[in-house]
Structures are given as C-alpha cells and as structure tokens.
Amino acid sequence: MKILGVDPGLYISGYGLVDWNNREPILIEAGIVKTRKDDKVERRLQYIYRSMLSLVNRMKPQAIALEKLYSHHRHPTTSYALGQARGLICLISAQLNIPLYEYPSTRIKKAVIGRGRASKEQLQKVIQQFLKIKDTPKYFDITDALAVAITHGHTLKGLG
C-alpha cells in the first residue's frame, strides 16, 4: 500500500511516500513544498494547493496520513497557519477520494521510536535508519511526514 505522509506548513510542507510491502516500508519519494515568506497568504496557499495536488496526482497514494492538529495557547497564530495548510491536504483527499488518517504526535513518536516524548532529532535518526536513508534530510518536515506515513503503516499491520 502506498501511503503519503504530509507535515503541512504555511512556509514548508514536508511529504513522504512509502510503499508497505509484506514486511517493511520502502521509501519511494520525500521532499518539501516551500513557499516564499514575502508572498501574501493567499498566494502561499495557492502554491501549496497546486503543488500538493500535482504531487498526489503523480504519486497515486492509496492513503494520506497527517498529524492531528495541536494548538497551544501560547502560539495560536502558529496553529492558525498550520490549520490553513492542513485544510488544503484534507481538501485534496476529499476531491480525489483518497482516505485520510490522522494521528496525534505522541502516537506517531511512540509508533516509530517506542515512546511519545522523543525529540525531532531522535525521530529523524530513527526514520533515517528505518528507511535506510543515506544522507540526513535537511528539513525535519520531511522526517515528520515520513514518520506519520510509517505510523499509518504500523497501524494497518496492527503494530501501531
């Protein structure tokens, strides 16, 4: 099963496509969609939408997995911006009739690392080893996206 994990953001959205064969996930593709900080929000959202729609159409995933939205009272603007980008992924999922799955960050970390309070650096190392990625990804957004895809795969296999 091809699973697309997405770590949406208004500036950088990470994505990772893995194919679960009988035993383990195989990395197919991973990267980022990056907007220009000086563009207006509507232009950034348009760029994210068009880029992600193109990626999904090309990759043909059978499922899309996202981290559940978490809002902290000290950073409401961050949640608002994240929600806008996240909404685009949900829209693409609905438009293309691709099932969408959401997981809390603690469950993602627990499924990948074994404990729910791991750092981004720890998560990145484990993902890199698990998927046999030679070079450390430049952005945590990529490994976060891969982690949510792997979590969904573990859930399907009854390991999540």
pLDDT tens for each residue of 61-81: 999 999 887 655 666 666 777
Structure tokens at 111: 């499924």
Percent of the chain with pLDDT over 70: 91
Q: Is there a catalytic annotation at residue 141?
A: yes
Task: Give the pair of three-digit tokens for residue 122.
Answer: 């720890």
Q: Could you confirm whether 42 is annotated as catalytic?
A: no
What superfamily would CATH give domain 2-156? Ribonuclease H-like superfamily/Ribonuclease H (3.30.420.10)
- d(CA 160, CA 152) in angstroms, rounded, equals 7
- With H, G, I as helix, E, B as strand and everything else as coil, classify residue 29: strand
* From 73-77, 81-85, 134-138, 145-149, the region with the lowest mean pLDDT: 73-77
Catalytic member of 7, 19, 102, 135: 7
Residue 7 annotated to the active site: yes
Q: Which range, of 46-55, 76-85, 113-122, 128-137, averages the lowest pLDDT?
A: 76-85
Rounded Cα distance between 71 and 155, Å, is 24
Q: Which of 67, 102, 135, 144 is catalytic?
A: 67
Q: Whole-angstrom Cα distance, residue 147 to residue 15?
A: 10
Do residues 75 and 111 lie in contact, with contact meaning Cβ atoms separated by under 8 Å? Answer: no
Confidence (pLDDT) at 75 = 61
Q: Per-domain residue ranges for the chain?
A: 2-156
* Segment (H or E) for 63: strand 63-67
Of 149, 136, 140, the closest CA to residue 101 belongs to: 149
Question: Distance (Å, rounded) from C-alpha 2 to C-alpha 142?
Answer: 17
- Give the Cα separation of 106 and 5 in Å (integer): 16
Quick check: 15 and 33 in contact, CB under 8 A?
yes
